[in-house]
Amino acid sequence: MREKEAKTVLSPQNGMNIYRGCTFGCLHCDPRAKCYRNTGEFEDIEVKVNAVELLEKSLRSKRRHCMIGVGSMSDPYQPIEEDLKLMRKSLELINYYGYGVCIETRSDLVCRDIDYLSNINEKAKCVIVMAICAADDELSARLEPNAPVTSKRVAALKMLSKAGIQTVVEISPLLPFINDNEDNLRGILEIAAETNAYGVLCEKIGIIVKNGSREWFYENLEKTFPELLEEYRRVYGEDQDLISQGNEWLMRILRDFCKEHKIICDAERLNTYLRGFEDKLAGEQISLMLA
């Protein structure tokens, strides 16, 4: 762990990442890419030790309430959070100042904070985007060796749904020749339906490997799925976009399933929903004034 005194904690788009780096060890890790300018070893987590203080200052000074997005670059519920509780302290502030929150994660630790999440959801909007790439635990553990397995994430989704908190299942990613098959896709879609997910987020079947993340991907592909290395080289060569050969028909299956189960899967519509702030007390306040 490396401590850092940050200058800011919220981006111009109101995104927040308390941690930099990750210990989940996912085969498909995108934030390792050089374009994100990570310093030091990726598994040696950089912690913004003054994040909570900076967040309070920002929330106090904003003219309008908005959604605070968390976890786009580093999972806020990786193991280090269990001890530091910086995410929990941040949620306490988000709740106190009346903001909404959208959290992206691969961890069931999010349910530890279901009290604050529920309180936020009563006044504004709280959405949890749970990323899942494998329908079964065995494959999940191979692709994301240090992350909670799929069954734990499913249990978390059910708990969140029971608490009235909206969830979105992000199918991320389906890797060519590994988990880009109909059985796995349908298994994840069934999870979304079973847990009453508001939406399913998946723009295409495949993965983008940028400089930095590309080296990590192929190094670990050789360790975990050595029999597929030559197939990847034959089909994709030096490509950055590794799009599944079944992209079109798998996306058709996804759209048909979501239409049948009334789950939103249009990426533009979902992203608009995730960014849109709701003041759930506004109508109640007007009613009280009229009374």
Domain ranges of the chain: 2-204+247-290
Closest CA to 75 of 37, 6, 128, 120: 128
Which ranges constitute the DSSP H helices of 97-136?
A: 114-123
The Cα-based distances of 11 to 17, 54, 73, 190 in angstroms read: 9, 12, 12, 35
Kindly indicate the confidence band of residue 85, based on its pLDDT and cuts at 50, 70 and 90. very high
The Cα–Cα gap between 121 and 123 comes to 5
pLDDT at res. 100 = 98
pLDDT at 286: 37
Q: Is the sign of the CA dihedral 142, 243, 191, 165 positive or negative? A: positive
Report the alpha-carbon distance of residue 197 to residue 95 in Å, rounded.
23
- CATH label, 2-204+247-290, candidates 3.20.20.70, 3.40.30.10, 3.40.720.10, 1.20.120.140: 3.20.20.70
When pLDDT is averaged across residues 196-217 and rounded to a whole number, the result is: 95
Handedness of CA 266, 271, 272, 276 (dihedral sign): positive
Least confident of 7-16, 36-45, 130-139, 159-168: 36-45
pLDDT higher than threshold 60 for residue 287: no
Nearest residue to 242 (alpha-carbon basis) of 276, 214, 265: 214
Residue 111 Cα distances to 45, 119, 152, 246, angstroms: 22, 13, 11, 35
Number of CB atoms found within 10 A of residue 110's CB: 28
- 222: pLDDT strictly greater than 90: yes
Q: Which residues pair with 272 in a beta bridge?
A: none
Is the pLDDT confidence value at 38 over 90?
A: no
Asked whether the bond before 76 is cis by omega within 30 degrees of 0, the reply is no
Kindly report, residue by residue over 130-185, the tens digit of the pLDDT.
Answer: 999 999 999 999 999 999 999 999 999 999 999 999 999 999 999 999 999 999 99
Residue 48: alpha-carbon gap to chain centroid? 20
Neighbour count for residue 14 (Cβ, 10 Å)? 20
Contact yes or no for 97/91 (Cβ under 8 A): no
Lowest-pLDDT range, 65-69, 126-130, 211-215? Answer: 211-215
Number of neighbouring beta carbons within 10 Å of residue 224:
13
- Residue 194: both structure tokens together: 């079973």
* Spatial contact of 200 and 219, defined as CB atoms under 8 Å apart: no
- Check pLDDT > 80 for residue 284: no
HEC sequence for 4-15: ECCCCCECCCCE
- pLDDT at residue 283, rounded to an integer: 56
CA distance 219 to 236: 16
pLDDT at 200 over 50: yes
Q: Who contacts 155 (Cβ-Cβ below 8 Å, separation ≥6)?
A: 108
Indicate the length of the chain as a whole number.
291
**What is the reported pLDDT for 263?**
98
